[in-house]
Structure 1
């Protein structure tokens, strides 16, 4: 684990108490799904979905993958997608870099960022795509809706066996303001804390 990221992670568990009970109950349902899959020697495939697959869904995918590694939970695969494709927003990318991830940007309109959390860890390839893109699972997966717009406008996700709404306020609302960096860091920390709590309960 990269040293800066390790320091960031040490702040997460003390923050579990700040998660509202209603959200803990929701997160526990996702934990239970993962636990059922792993106890039956099956892979828990989680597809985090928001509208543009540009901010919240990527943050949730990345932090869940790191949490699984941190807690030694195997047989978890994380994915993300949107109801439409744009690009992994540079402001969200900057937030994970501040948290301690190392990110390689190959450039282009929709870069396939290589995100690593440790020197020997396989990179996560993060780019914007639709939820049913070929790189994502098409059967036997959980659809985790990370924004209310996607949840409302995408009532049916083909192939899913479990669907849950774990929505977050869009940091996009701060774009171009003096609070932009602060809001993105807040959302990054919130998602990290909740995904670590969720995986800790598996």
Structure 2
């Protein structure tokens, strides 16, 4: 059941974001992030997509039970995405005077992206040692490396936008990192559901030692 919820959620999200980019011609998808499109006539597609990501991610978190604090980061990511859906972003051009809604949205989004980046790396390391994840180990590892690099590039593009230089393609960078994140989550959702592992137990019991 969790696998179905995960894959259904991610499928709905991808379709919603793709259709949003296709039907909303007001912004440049290379320059503007997905969440800004909520201010256009078909902006409800963005809200639907974000809520679908939250549901799918929460289902993966349930499936990954027994993976210690790294597993709980998936719940945190799902919660941040839900908050970002409830508090919409401002239209482009308000970087110097963001509304309360935009500030909450941006804070939740960045905390969520950071939490997911950490979770992807730590969970990939943990799961590679477990038989239940053997068939997905290579895919998880490749996607973990790719998403980590994409997250760094996305952060660099955001800093470029914050400096008001607007030379880096922020919208493209966000779409790439989100696509890689969803791909990793989808691969994680298709594995056999693992039992609580010794590695996960060690992570919960030994806070000072990385697993």
Which TM-score applies when normalising by structure 1? 0.29
| Higher share of residues assigned helix | 2
Q: Which has the larger radius of gyration?
A: 2
Choose between structure 1 and 2: higher strand proportion. Answer: 1
Higher relative contact order (CA 8 A, sep 6+): 1
TM-score (norm 2): 0.28
